[in-house]
């Protein structure tokens, strides 16, 4: 099957291909021996959050500090 790469580096996967892998929103993308390999990934929301925290360089201690700050009485808007 043929798929076209657009000027914005986007590819539309043929319906037959996506139907074969089932409902998936994300793909791991790798290059192997000059080929682009797409592997379906089913990301849980917690996984996406962990990935974003890692991208921002935030660790468990940062999250704990933020939660402690948010729980201070002066931050309660009720």
Q: Nearest CA to 38 among 14, 71, 64?
A: 14
Quote the pLDDT of residue 30: 96
Per-residue pLDDT 10s for the chain (78 aa) are: 899 999 999 999 999 999 999 999 899 999 999 999 999 988 777 877 888 889 999 998 998 999 999 998 887 665
Domain carrying residue 26:
14-43
Instruction: Quickly count helices (H) and strands (E) in the chain.
Output: 3, 2
Same domain, 39 and 58: no
Residue 67 token pair: 């939660």
Quote the pLDDT of residue 77: 65
Same domain, 33 and 50: no
Quote the pLDDT of residue 51: 87
Quote the pLDDT of residue 45: 78
Same domain, 30 and 49: no
């Amino acid at each position: 099957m043929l798929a076209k790469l657009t000027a914005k580096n986007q590819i539309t996967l043929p319906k037959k291909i996506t139907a074969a892998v089932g409902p998936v929103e994300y793909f791991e993308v790798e290059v192997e021996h000059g080929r682009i390999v797409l592997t379906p990934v089913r990301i849980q929301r917690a996984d996406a959050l962990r990935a974003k925290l890692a991208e921002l360089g935030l660790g468990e201690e940062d999250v704990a500090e933020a939660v402690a700050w948010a729980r201070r009485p002066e931050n309660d808007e009720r």
